[in-house]
Structure 1
Amino acid sequence: MSEHPPASVEVRRGLLLTGSGSVISLAVLFAETVVAVRLLSPDAFGQFVLITAVVNFFLIVVDIGSKDAVVKLIAGVEERRKALLAESILVFRVALAGGASLLYLGGLWGGEHLARILEPSLSVPEQAWFVPLMLFPASLDELFLGILQGLRSYRHLAIAQSLRSILRLMLTISFLSVFHWGIWALILSWALSSTASVLYQYCVAPIARGLSWDGAALKEVLRFGLPLQLIRFLWFGLRRLDVLIVGALAGPGSVAFYAIALRIPEALQRLYDSFIAVYFPTVSALGRSRQAERLLNQSLRLIAFLTAIAALAAVAFSRDIIPILFSGKYAPAAPAFAVLMVTLQTSFLLTLMGYTLTSCGYPGRSLTANVLQTSLNVLADLALIPIFGFVGAANAAVVSSYTTYPINVLLLRRSGMGVELRPYLKQTFLLLALAALSWWVLPEAIIYKAGVVLLFVLLNVAVSAVSRDDLSLILSPRITRMAPLAQESSHAR
C-alpha cells in the first residue's frame, strides 16, 4: 500500500466534522423545501426564490472577496496575527453590510416614489423592504464561517451549520402551519436562524473582542480578495442569473419549477462545501508542492466518481424523485433536474480547480476561467430558455461547464499543478453513455435503473478510473484496505 500524505489525515478529520454539519444542514433544509412547496403556491414560492436571489447578490456586493481571502490568509499566517486579521475584517464587514442595507432602503424608497410619478398604480412589493433583514445576519454568518474555516475550527463550524439549519426548519414549520404567514414565514426564519448562528460563532471564535483594526492586514485581504470578488459575481451570474432570466422570460411559475429542479443539486453543493472547507485551507498551506498536486488529483478523481454515481442515479429515478418529494404538480421539473445532476459532476470539479488556482496565488487565473464560463452560460440561457423554457437553463449549464473544463486544466498546468485528464474523460464518457441509455432506452423497472448505476461502478473499476488511494481521502486506511476498489490505478502513483 502506498504511503498516504499527511494532508489526507487533515482532510479526513475535517470532513468528519464539517461533513456531519453539512449532512444535517442538507437534510433539514431539504425538509424545509418540501414543507414550503406543499404549503405555498408555485407563484409564492417563486417570489421567495427571486427575493433570495436579490439577497445573494447583495451578499456578494458587501463581501469584496473577503470570505475566501480570509480563509487563505488566516491559514497561512503565524498564530499571533490570526485573531487581529479576523477582527479587522469583521469590523469592516459590519460597516459594509450596514451601509449597503441603508443604501438599499434609500434606493428602494426613491425608486418607488419616482415610479409613482410616472405611473401612480406602480408599487414595490412589500417583501422587498425586508431584504436587509435577511442580508445583514447572512453576511456576518458567511464571514464567520470563513474565519472558522481558516482557523480550521471545524467542530464549531459544524455546530453553527447545524444550529442554523435546524432552527430555520422549526421556525418555518411554525410560521407556515401555525401562524399561516405565507412567504413571510420563509423570510423571518432565514433572518432569525442566521442571527442565531452569528451569535454562536461570535462567542466561540478565537478573535479579539472589540474594535481592533489592522490597516495593513485589511489591505492585504482586499488586494487578494478583489479577483475573488469578481469571481463571486460571476458565480452569482452562473448560479443565480439564470433564475432571474427564467423569471423574466418565462414567469414566476417557471421559476418555481426550475427552483425545484435545483433543490437537490444545491443541497449536494452544500455537502460539497464541507469538502471545500477542508480542502482549501489544506492545499493553501501545502503551496505549490508535489503533495498539493497529489491531493488535487486524488480529489478530482474521487469527486468525479462520487458525483457521477449520484448523477446517474438521479437520471434513472428522476421521474419518481420529483413527484414523491415535492408533489405531482412539480413533475415537469424532472428533465431539468436530470440534466442539472449530470452537470453537477463537472461543476464540482471546476470549483475544486478554481480554489486550487487561488491557493497557488493565482486568483486572477481563476477569474479568467469564471469570466468565460459565466459569459457562455448567460449567452446559452438567452438562446435556450425562449425555446425550452426553464429546461433551457439546465441545458445552458451543460454547455458552459463542459466547454470551460479544458481551459481550467490548462491554467492549472501553467500554474505548476499537473492535472490528469484521462480519469475524468473515462468517467464522463461512462456517465453520459449510461445516462442516455437509462433515459431513452431502458424500461422503467427499478431493477434496470439500479443495474445501470452498478454497471457504472464496475466499469470504473475495470478501467481504473478511481483507486483505493483516492478513497482514503474520506475513509480511514483500515476501511480502504477492505474496499472493493482494491487495485490502485497508475494515476495514484
Structure 2
Amino acid sequence: MTEPWVPAEHGSDRKGLGRRVARGFSWTVVDNWGAQLLGLVILVVLLRLLEAEEVGLVALATAFVALAQLFVDQGLGDALIQRPSLTRRQIDTAFWTAVATGALLTLVGFVAAGPLGTLLSEPRLTPIVQALSITFLLTAFSSIQMALLRREMAFRSLAARRLIAIAGGGGLGIAAAFMGFGAWALVVQQLAQAAISVVTLWAVSPWRPGLSGSWSDFRSLFGFGANIVAGDLLFYLGRRADAMLIGAFLGSAALGLYAVGYRVLEASTAMLITAARKLAFPTFARLQGDSERLVRAYGRMSRAMAAVTLPGYIGLALIVQEVIVLFAGERWSDSGPVATVLVLTGPALALQAYSGGLLNAVGRPDVTLRYRFLAAVLNIAGFLVAVVVFRDIVAVAVAYAVRGYVLAPVVLRWLQDYAGIPFRENLQGLGRIVLAPGLMAAGVLATKAVLADAVGLGLGLALQVVVGIVVYTAAMLALERALVAELWRFGLQALPGGVARRLDGVRANLLGRLGVPSRADELRGD
C-alpha cells in the first residue's frame, strides 16, 4: 500500500534553493502576468457589454462576500506553509476545519443576504450575494491544497490551475453577457472560475485528505493562523472599505467607475509585485534559521523589486487615462483619474512588498497584525472623509495613496526591530534606481508633448511605451549595470540549461560588438 503523501521538511532542500526560487519566480510571473492579461481582456469585453451600475452592483456584493472568504481556512493554510515539518494529521485537521467553516459560511451567506440588501436599500443585491456565497464552500475545498503546493513551491501547477480557471470562468461570463444576463454575467464568471479552480487543483495535487484530525493540532495551527486571519481581516477592511462606503454613500454607478480604476491597480500590482511576494513567504520560511542569509536574500530581492516596479508604476500612471479610453471606451473615462492616483501608490506598495511574508516567516505575524490595524484605521478614516465631505471617488483614491506613503517608514523600522533587516538593506542603492524611472518619465512626457494630436491614440500610446522602455533600459545599463547583470543571471537560472547558455551567448556577442565587457558578476545561489 502506498504511503500517504506528506510535504518535505523545511531545510532539507537548501542546497538547491537558489534554482528553485528562480524557477518558482518564473512560474509565478507566468501565473500573474498570464492571469492579469487574460483577466484584462475578459474585463474589456465585459465592459463593452455592461453598464457601470451593473459592474458596481456586483462589486458591492463581492466586497461583502470577499470579507467572509477570509475566514474559510482560518489562516491554517499559512500555518502549514510556515511549519518546519508537517504530519498527515495536521493537514487533515486543517482541511476538514476549512470544509466545515466553508459550509457554515455558505449557509450564513444565504440567510444574511436579505437583511444586507434591505440595509443598503438595494434589493437586487440579495440574490447576487446568495449565489456568490457558494464560493465559500468551493474555496474550502481548494485552500489547503493550494497552501501545500505553495509550500512545495509547485508554482507551475498553481499557474496552470489559475489560467485554466480564469479562461473558463471568463468565457462563460462573456457568453452570459452576450445573452443579456447583465450583472449576473459577472456572477456566472466568478462561480465558474471557483469551480474550475477546485477541479484543477485536485487534479495536480498529490495530497488527498484522510479522516484523521485532532483538537490539539487545530489549537497548535490556529495559534499561528489566528494572527494571519486577524491581519487579513484588517487588511481587507482597509483595502475594501472603499468599495463598501462608495456603494453606500455614492451609489452603484460611482462604484462601477471606481472599481475599474481600482482594477488597474490590482492588475499592475499582480503583474509587478505579487509574483515575487508569493515566492517570498516560502523562501524566507526556509531561511528562518539563518539570519545572515535571510538578510542577504532580503536585500537582493528588495533591490530587484525596485528595479522592476518603479518604472512599471510610474510609466503606467503616465498613460493609464488613454489606455482606459482606448480599450474600455469613452464612457469609462471617469475611471482614468482614479486609476492614475491609485497607480502612483505603487512605489510605496513595492517598498513594503516583502514585509508580511518576512515577518510571518520569522514567526512574528503579530507585527503584521499591528501594521494592518494601523493601515485599516487610516484607510477607513480617509475613505469616510472622502465620501462624506468631498463625495468624490478621486478623493477616495487620494486617501488610499496618502496612507501608503505615511506607513512606509513605519514598516521599514519594524523590519529592523523584529526581523533584523537594517535600514540600509531597504534603502541601499535606491538613489540610482529611482533616477532611472525619472529619466524614463521625462522621455515619455516629452514624447507625449511632441506627438500631441499628430497621431492616433493607439499609435501614440505605443510610441510612448517604446520610448519609456528604451530610455529606462539605457539608464539602468549606465547607472546600475551590476544590478542588471544580477537580474539577468537570476532569469537564466529559471530557464533550462541549453536555453540559458544560448541566451547568454547572444548577450555576450551583442555586448562584444558594442565594445562593452561581457563579464558580469555571477548571482550567487542561496
In structure 2, distance between residues paired with 1:457 and 1:331: 31
The aligned counterpart of 2:224 is 224
Which deviates more, 332-341 or 402-411?
332-341
Residues 351/371 of structure 1: CA separation in 2 closer, same or farther (3 Å cut)? farther
In structure 1, distance between residues paired with 2:195 and 2:215: 28
TM-score, normalisation: structure 2: 0.81
1:378 is aligned, of 370, 377, 380, to: 380
What is the RMSD of the two structures over their aligned residues, measured on CA atoms?
A: 3.3
In structure 2, distance between residues paired with 1:431 and 1:198: 41
* Other structure's SS at 2:71 match: helix
Residues 160/84 of structure 1: CA separation in 2 closer, same or farther (3 Å cut)? farther
The aligned counterpart of 1:28 is 38
2:355 is aligned, of 353, 356, 362, to: 353
Alignment of 1:409-448 (within 5 A): 409-414=412-417, 415-418=419-422, 419-424=425-430, 427-428=433-434, 431=437, 443=449, 445=451, 446=460
Alignment of 1:48-197 (within 5 A): 48-73=58-83, 76-77=84-85, 81=87, 83-109=88-114, 125-177=126-178, 179-197=179-197
CA contact (8 A) 1:262 1:340 kept: yes
In structure 2, distance between residues paired with 1:244 and 1:441: 39
CA contact (8 A) 2:284 2:357 kept: no
Quote the offset at 1:438 in angstroms. Answer: 6.0
Residues 456/393 of structure 1: CA separation in 2 closer, same or farther (3 Å cut)? farther
* Other structure's SS at 1:325 match: helix
Which deviates more, 154-163 or 416-425?
416-425
The aligned counterpart of 2:50 is 40
CA contact (8 A) 1:144 1:198 kept: no
CA contact (8 A) 1:11 1:279 kept: no
In structure 2, distance between residues paired with 1:174 and 1:487: 54
Residues 157/265 of structure 1: CA separation in 2 closer, same or farther (3 Å cut)? same
Output one character per residue of 1:213-241: Cα deviation in whole Å (capped at 9) or x when no partner: 14333222211111111211122123211
Aligned residues between the structures = 479
Paired letter, 1:128: V
Quote the offset at 1:433 in angstroms. Answer: 8.5
The aligned counterpart of 1:390 is 393
In structure 1, distance between residues paired with 2:283 and 2:137: 30
* Other structure's SS at 2:180 match: coil
Quote the offset at 1:189 in angstroms. Answer: 2.5
Residues 61/258 of structure 1: CA separation in 2 closer, same or farther (3 Å cut)? same
* Other structure's SS at 2:170 match: helix
Query: Are 2:269 and 1:265 equivalent residues in the alignment?
Result: no
Query: Are 2:507 and 1:468 equivalent residues in the alignment?
Result: no
Which deviates more, 17-26 or 161-170?
17-26
Paired letter, 2:183: I
TM-score, normalisation: structure 1: 0.86
Quote the offset at 1:33 in angstroms. Answer: 1.0
Paired letter, 1:469: E
Residues 263/22 of structure 1: CA separation in 2 closer, same or farther (3 Å cut)? same
CA contact (8 A) 1:308 1:342 kept: no
Quote the offset at 1:85 in angstroms. Answer: 2.9
Output one character per residue of 1:99-123: Cα deviation in whole Å (capped at 9) or x when no partner: 122123233456779x8xxx9x978
Residues 164/8 of structure 1: CA separation in 2 closer, same or farther (3 Å cut)? same
In structure 2, distance between residues paired with 1:200 and 1:216: 31
The aligned counterpart of 1:342 is 344
Where do 5+ consecutive residues of structure 1 fail to align?
none
CA contact (8 A) 1:11 1:473 kept: no
Query: Are 2:237 and 1:237 equivalent residues in the alignment?
Result: yes
CA contact (8 A) 1:68 1:228 kept: yes
In structure 2, distance between residues paired with 1:112 and 1:312: 40
In structure 1, distance between residues paired with 2:465 and 2:153: 41
Quote the offset at 1:134 in angstroms. Answer: 2.9
Quote the offset at 1:396 in angstroms. Answer: 1.8
Quote the offset at 1:388 in angstroms. Answer: 7.0
CA contact (8 A) 2:92 2:212 kept: yes
Paired letter, 1:313: G
CA contact (8 A) 2:433 2:480 kept: no
Query: Are 2:329 and 1:327 equivalent residues in the alignment?
Result: yes
CA contact (8 A) 2:101 2:140 kept: no
Residues 110/307 of structure 1: CA separation in 2 closer, same or farther (3 Å cut)? closer
CA contact (8 A) 1:84 1:213 kept: yes
Quote the offset at 1:355 in angstroms. Answer: 0.9
1:289 is aligned, of 279, 291, 294, to: 291
CA contact (8 A) 1:301 1:470 kept: no
The aligned counterpart of 2:10 is none
Which deviates more, 193-202 or 212-221?
212-221
Quote the offset at 1:456 in angstroms. Answer: 4.3
In structure 2, distance between residues paired with 1:174 and 1:219: 46
Which deviates more, 325-334 or 197-206?
197-206
User: Quick one: percent identity of the two aligned structures?
Assistant: 19
Quote the offset at 1:84 in angstroms. Answer: 3.5
Output one character per residue of 1:130-182: Cα deviation in whole Å (capped at 9) or x when no partner: 231233213433443222101322232122112211111111122121x3222
Output one character per residue of 1:283-335: Cα deviation in whole Å (capped at 9) or x when no partner: 10111422222221122111222111111221222232011121111112222
* Other structure's SS at 1:247 match: helix
In structure 1, distance between residues paired with 2:346 and 2:105: 33
Residues 451/40 of structure 1: CA separation in 2 closer, same or farther (3 Å cut)? same
Quote the offset at 1:7 in angstroms. Answer: 3.5
